[in-house]
């Protein structure tokens, strides 16, 4: 998604697992039920786990498992606690044990699926989440997670179907709609994607954020004309922001409207937290629009912001190269390689710069050879 909508699946699943752990501990109390007999020992074990005493926590969990060998809720809870502590492989065994004891317990399917997600084993998560949804078709969390996993696996039609279901279960939430639009576009379902975005923009509250999401999604799937139009509509509706202008400028740059992109960026200023990305986009737009002095100043600022990143050096060198300042380009790349030795991007840039004089010499030599071989007036 422009990578902005793309998923950090592992980190998200870990947060969900932490939430599941907290929810489980409160579940029996919230339902007015008597807490299970093992709750105090379980809490003592989780405290050991959280304090870093993994070995002692494991011993306590094993003892609990032997004391309550047929309690699937305990096995589920232990798996969740281990997952929340990033002990994912150990957690897997407890979840599987819980499912053997009670294959109808939906929360275990969801958490085991997230467990596989954190281990990057996305294909294993799909049937588990499908089973969780089969057991409870109104389990919005499992439906949404199924969409996320299908999206990660590039199963775009299946992802769109899951996000449509998630939206129907929670029609006032923005995130399922945004994911639905993105998955639909990637599945080649353009009209469905546009319809999802239109619904997203009609939701009450946070209109500026919804408008920004819509432009980001359109940008990410290459619908640049639509992204520009959407950004302009948002601006006319009073929803302008530096971040929205940045996304619009990115679309304009992709359309080849470099001067317009640069002017928009200069007028809007850098969005909070995106100073480097702003300078890189502005500098590239200025260079491509022919404003090489402006590009050099902007990209020098980018180097100052992020001296340990190769992109600013590389783009600054290209700007120098465009202005026939080959030595300056070489100096910039050399400075970058001092900061970031063995950077593939900067080494590639150095090779490009070194090839330029050679190519020019070859071009000049060929031109002269062609001229000398040309038959002039009076020659046969």
Mean pLDDT of the region 100-121: 94
For residue 84, the domain's CATH number is 1.25.40.10
Q: Are residues 127 and 17 in the same domain?
A: yes
pLDDT value for 36: 85
Same domain for 238 and 277, yes or no, is yes
Average pLDDT, integer, range 178-207: 96
User: What's residue 264's pLDDT?
Assistant: 98
Tell me the mean pLDDT in the region 153-179: 96
**Structure-token match 């679309």, residue found:** 251
In total, the chain counts a number of residues equal to 380
pLDDT band per the 50, 70, 90 thresholds, residue 356: low
Q: What is the pLDDT of residue 120?
A: 93
Average pLDDT, the chain: 87
- 75 vs 91: CA distance, rounded Å: 9
- Could you tell me if 7 and 92 lie in one domain? yes
> Domain for residue 214, yes or no?
yes
Query: Do the beta carbons of residue 148 and residue 7 sit within 8 Å?
Result: yes
In which domain, by residue range, is 284 found?
Answer: 210-304
Position 92 confidence tier, pLDDT thresholds 50, 70, 90: very high
CA distance readout (Å), 301 to 7, 91, 282, 295, 304: 30, 48, 11, 10, 5
Domain identity same for 11 and 94 = yes
Distance in angstroms (rounded) separating the CA atoms of residues 144 and 44 = 33
Tokens 């909508």 found at: 5
Q: Which positions ≥6 away from 285 have C-beta within 8 Å? A: 249, 253, 258, 259, 261, 262, 265
Q: Report the alpha-carbon distance of residue 1 to residue 293 in Å, rounded.
A: 33
Shared domain for 4 and 47, answered yes or no, is yes
Tell me, yes or no, whether 135 lies in a domain.
yes
Of 135, 153, 171, the domain-final residue? 153
**Which helix (H) or strand (E) segment is 203 a member of?**
none
Q: Is residue 70 part of a domain?
A: yes
Let me know if residue 297 belongs to a domain: yes
SS3 168: helix
> Is residue 378 a part of any domain in this protein?
no
Number of domains within the chain: 3
- Spatial CA neighbour of 210 closest among 164, 176, 184, 183: 176
pLDDT at 33: 63
Yes or no: say if 99 and 112 are a contact pair by the CB < 8 Å rule.
yes
In a domain, 177, yes or no: no
pLDDT at 208: 93
The answer on 271 and 125 residing in a single domain is no
- Which residue do the tokens 């970031």 mark? 340
**Which residue reads 């022919």 in tokens?**
290
Give me 137's structure tokens: 């078709």
Pairwise CA distance, residues 78 & 61, whole Å: 7
Domain stop point among 123, 153, 183: 153
Least Cα distance to 129 among 148, 147, 156, 110 occurs for 110
C-alpha separations of 313 from 271, 288, 342 in Å: 22, 17, 14
> With 70 as the cut, is the pLDDT of residue 32 above it?
no
Tell me if 312 sits within 8 A of 318, measured CB to CB. Answer: no
* Residue 243 shares a structural domain with residue 323: no
Residue 245: half-sphere exposure toward Cβ, Cα within 13 Å: 21
pLDDT attached to residue 360: 53
144, 272: one domain: no
Q: Which of 112, 137, 153 is the last residue of a domain?
A: 153
Q: Which residue has the higher pLDDT, 205 or 368?
A: 205
Task: Let me know whether 254 and 295 are in one domain.
Answer: yes
| Model pLDDT for residues 224-234, shown as the tens digit of each residue | 999 999 999 99
Q: What is the pLDDT of residue 301?
A: 97
Mean pLDDT to the nearest integer, 5-13: 41
pLDDT band at 373 (very low <50, low <70, confident <90, very high): very low
Q: Which two tokens stand for residue 302?
A: 């980018």
Considering the domain architecture, whether residues 300 and 318 belong to the same structural domain is answered as no
- Phi (first) and psi of residue 272, to 5 degrees: -60, 130
Does some domain include residue 380? no
Mean pLDDT of 117-138: 95
Residues 13, 148 within the same domain: yes
Higher pLDDT, 3 or 138: 138
Report pLDDT digits (tens) over 45-64.
999 999 999 999 999 999 99
Both tokens of residue 127?
């049937």
With respect to residue 35, please indicate whether it lies within any of the assigned structural domains: no
Q: Are residues 93 and 17 in the same domain?
A: yes
């Amino acid at each position: 998604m422009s990578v902005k909508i793309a998923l950090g699946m592992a980190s998200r699943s870990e947060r969900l697992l932490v939430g599941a752990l907290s929810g489980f501990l409160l579940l029996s109390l919230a339902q007015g039920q008597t807490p299970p007999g093992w709750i105090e020992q379980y809490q003592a074990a989780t405290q050991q786990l959280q304090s870093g005493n993994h070995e002692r926590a494991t011993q306590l969990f094993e003892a609990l498992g032997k004391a309550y060998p047929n309690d699937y809720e305990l096995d589920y809870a232990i798996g969740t606690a281990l997952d929340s502590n990033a002990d994912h492989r150990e957690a897997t065994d407890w979840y599987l044990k819980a499912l053997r004891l009670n294959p109808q317990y939906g929360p275990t399917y969801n958490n085991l699926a997230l467990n596989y997600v954190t281990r990057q084993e996305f294909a294993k998560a799909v049937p588990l989440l499908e089973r969780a949804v089969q057991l409870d078709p109104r389990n919005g969390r499992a439906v949404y997670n199924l969409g996320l996993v299908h999206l990660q696996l590039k199963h775009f039609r299946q992802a769109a179907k899951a996000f449509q279901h998630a939206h129907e279960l929670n029609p006032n939430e923005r995130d399922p709609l945004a994911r639905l639009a993105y998955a639909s576009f990637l599945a080649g379902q353009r009209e469905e994607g546009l319809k999802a975005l239109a619904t997203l923009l009609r939701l009450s509250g946070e209109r500026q954020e919804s408008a920004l999401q819509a432009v980001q999604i359109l940008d990410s799937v290459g619908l640049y004309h639509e992204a520009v139009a959407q950004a302009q509509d948002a601006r006319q509706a009073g929803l302008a922001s530096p971040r929205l202008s940045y996304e619009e400028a990115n679309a304009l740059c992709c359309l080849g409207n470099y001067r317009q992109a640069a002017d928009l960026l200069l007028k809007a200023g850098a969005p909070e937290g995106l100073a480097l990305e702003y300078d890189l986009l502005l500098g590239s737009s200025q260079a491509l629009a022919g404003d090489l002095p402006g590009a050099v100043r902007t990209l020098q600022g980018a180097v100052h912001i992020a001296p340990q990143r190769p992109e600013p050096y590389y783009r600054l060198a290209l700007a120098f190269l465009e202005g026939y300042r080959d030595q300056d380009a070489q100096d910039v790349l050399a400075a970058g390689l001092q900061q970031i030795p063995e950077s593939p991007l900067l080494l590639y840039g150095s090779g490009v710069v070194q090839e330029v004089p050679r190519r020019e010499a070859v071009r000049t030599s060929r031109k002269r050879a062609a001229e000398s071989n040309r038959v002039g007036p009076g020659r046969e």
